[in-house]
Amino acid sequence: MWSVLALLLALSSGAMSLDKLNMCMDAKHHKTEPGPEGQLYQQCSPWRDNACCTANTSAEAHDDASYLYNFNWNHCGIMSKECKKHFIQDTCFYECSPHLGPWIQPVDQSWRKERILDVPLCKEDCETWWEDCKNDYTCKTNWHKGWDWSSGINKCPEGSKCSKWTDVFPTPKSMCEEIWSNSYIYTTYTKTSEKCMQLWFTGTNPNKKVAEYYLNNGQQQQSSALPTLLFLAVTSLSVMIH
């Protein structure tokens, strides 16, 4: 009888792991399930074979006046093209990626029910992002909160001042981890390691193997479904025994 219980638990755990390898966040613009999107726009196009974003979302990700979040990249002067391309890619990654399951967490926010936390970024992507933005300016370390939204778009809050990027973010690590409230963590893993998530890639999406690696190594194994399953299995076993 205990073997039946063990089998049920194993099957449940395996099914949930598979779900985490191919799922979309419960957030503002994400699809409910990932799938092909043949017309994804420009920098979002690498996700076209299996995406959590729509073609319209991918196009809006490239616009300065995007309806997605009304976020103003030019809050301290015009952001350079070299810097902005990384924020476009970051948006594509966030909106389109179907392999973020191991790092999806519930969140109590008006505009989304889930977020990503501590996604391990590849060293090259984080460092190139910082390098291409180092001559730009900003007024905040955490871009998720604390803006002045009184005009409908984000502006620097009263009392803040625009400073050079490297003064606000002295290292690639500080930028990647602080700018989106620890959505990412900086790693020393390179893209060939298959232990870090890539913002930039061509061809087959390499991030599925990375998500599988973290699932197989015990990351994010706790699930609210397991206690329920265990209770049902034990109850069924008790009935069978008696």
In angstroms, the CA 173 to CA 190 distance is 14
Sign of the Cα pseudo-torsion (133, 138, 144, 148, in order): negative
- pLDDT, residue 135, reads 96
Helix (H, G, I), strand (E, B) or coil at 203: coil
Amino acid at 11: L
DSSP conformation class of 43: G
Over the stretch 146-179, which tens digit does the pLDDT of each residue have? Answer: 999 998 888 999 989 999 999 999 999 999 999 9
Residue 18: what pLDDT? 54
**Residues 6 or more apart whose Cβ sits within 8 Å of residue 235:** none
Read off the pLDDT band of 17 (50, 70, 90).
low
User: Of all helices (H) and strands (E), which one includes residue 109?
Assistant: strand 104-109
pLDDT surpassing 50 at residue 192? yes
Residues 176, 165: contact at Cβ < 8 Å?
no
Render pLDDT for 193-223 as a digit per residue (tens, 0 to 9).
Answer: 999 999 988 888 999 999 999 988 764 444 4
pLDDT at 196: 95
- Which two tokens mark 34? 């990932």
**% of the chain residues with pLDDT over 70:** 78
Residue 7 has pLDDT above 50, yes or no: no
List own/partner pairs for 34-43 with CB under 8 A and 24 or more apart. 34/98, 40/96, 43/85, 43/88, 43/89, 43/92
- Residue linked to tokens 């503002």: 28
Task: Determine the pLDDT at residue 111.
Answer: 66
Annotated domain spans of the chain: 16-240
Compute the average pLDDT of residues 101-110: 82
- List beta partners, residue 197: 121
- Confidence at residue 60, expressed as pLDDT on a 0 to 100 scale: 74
Q: Are strands 119-121 and 184-186 parallel, antiparallel or unpaired?
A: parallel
Assigned token pair, 111: 């505009």
Q: What is the pLDDT of residue 121?
A: 95
Closest to 215 (Cα-Cα) out of 101, 75, 117: 101
User: Does residue 234 surpass a pLDDT of 80?
Assistant: no
Average pLDDT along the chain: 80
Quote the pLDDT of residue 204.
87
For residue 235, is pLDDT > 80? no
Between residues 8 and 89, the one the model is more confident about: 89
**Mean predicted confidence (pLDDT) in 84-109:** 88
| pLDDT of 186 over the 90 cut | yes
